[in-house]
């Protein structure tokens, strides 16, 4: 499947996917495009250095028009015959324009055990709440904020002396394993979705 990775920033999850691809662990995923809503996202440089085609889609002309932005993105995806989307630190809410065009073909990584702590600063939310375990989740994207059917999760202990930085760093290591694995399962057509449940075939 031809895959686009959507990024807004650092791009370490994108790199994890590119590394697994290089190792031959994503046989059914062709990383055809990296798309960013930020012109200066470090992820873009990393993707270019890895020889992956990149595109910046500016959101400024669509400030109050998320659907308009997604329609522009959809045009770009069609030009590149993209069949599957990975959100890897993409800081925008996706609208039905994309969700309907890519039904059960968009996944996202989130740094908490959903449905706990959706949205921004998930690691800080977890620390502030005082949970003893957090983790990361890969899920299909629906119209809600981090609400789609869950594909894979990893639980990680929260230490009493954790800061937002230390917990984020520990979770991130596991994100880098979980996201490529979920992408492999999806592109190998080994996932079946039934309502909220995702079955591994
Ligand atoms: C990750 O923590 C991811 O879970 C969240 O945004 C962060 C992106 O980091 N959605 P990176 O750009 O992949 O390094």
With beta carbons less than 8 A apart as the criterion, state whether 179 and 20 touch: no
**pLDDT, position 4:** 99
Cα distance between residue 186 and residue 145, in whole Å: 21
Instruction: Give average pLDDT by consecutive 10-residue segment, the chain, 201 residues.
Output: 98 98 98 98 98 97 96 98 98 96 97 98 98 98 96 98 98 98 98 98 95
Question: What's the gap in Å between 89 CA and the centre of ligand 1?
Answer: 4
Cβ-proximal residues to 161 (8 Å cutoff; 6+ apart), any chain: none
Residue 112: per-residue pLDDT: 98
Ligand 1 close to Cβ of residue 109 (< 6 A): yes
Query: How far is the centre of ligand 1, averaged over its atoms, from the C-alpha of 139 (Å)?
Result: 14
DSSP category for residue 103: T
- Whether the CB-CB separation of 179 and 25 falls below 8 Å is answered with no
> From ligand 1's centre to the CA of 35, what distance in Å?
15
Measured by CA distance, the residue closest to atom 5 of ligand 1 is 89
Q: Atom 7 of ligand 1 has which residue's CA nearest to it? A: 89
Residue 183: which CATH number? Answer: 3.40.50.170
Domain extent, residue 8, equals 2-200
Total count of domains within the chain: 1
Q: How far is CA 199 from the centre of its chain?
A: 20
Distance linking the first and last C-alpha atoms of the chain:
18
CB atoms within 10 A of CB 5: 30
Q: How many residues does the chain have?
A: 201
CB of 180 sitting under 6 A from ligand 1: no
């Amino acid at each position: 499947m031809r895959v686009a990775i959507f990024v807004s920033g650092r791009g370490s999850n994108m790199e994890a996917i590119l590394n697994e691809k290089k190792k031959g662990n994503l046989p059914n995923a062709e990383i055809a495009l990296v798309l960013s809503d930020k012109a200066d996202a470090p992820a873009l440089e990393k993707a270019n250095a890895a020889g992956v085609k990149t595109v910046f889609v500016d959101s400024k002309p669509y400030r109050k028009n998320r659907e308009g932005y997604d329609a522009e993105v959809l045009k770009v995806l069609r030009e590149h015959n993209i069949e599957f989307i990975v959100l890897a630190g993409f800081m925008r809410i996706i609208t039905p324009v994309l969700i309907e065009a890519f039904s059960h073909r968009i996944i996202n990584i989130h740094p908490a055990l959903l449905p706990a702590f959706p949205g921004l600063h998930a690691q800080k939310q977890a620390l502030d709440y005082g949970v003893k375990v957090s983790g990361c989740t890969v899920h299909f994207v629906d119209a809600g904020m981090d609400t789609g059917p869950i594909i894979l999760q990893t639980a990680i202990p929260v230490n009493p002396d954790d800061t937002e930085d230390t917990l984020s760093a520990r979770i991130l290591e596991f994100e880098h394993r979980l996201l490529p694995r979920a992408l492999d399962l999806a592109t190998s057509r080994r996932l079946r979705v039934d309502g909220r449940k995702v079955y591994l075939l």
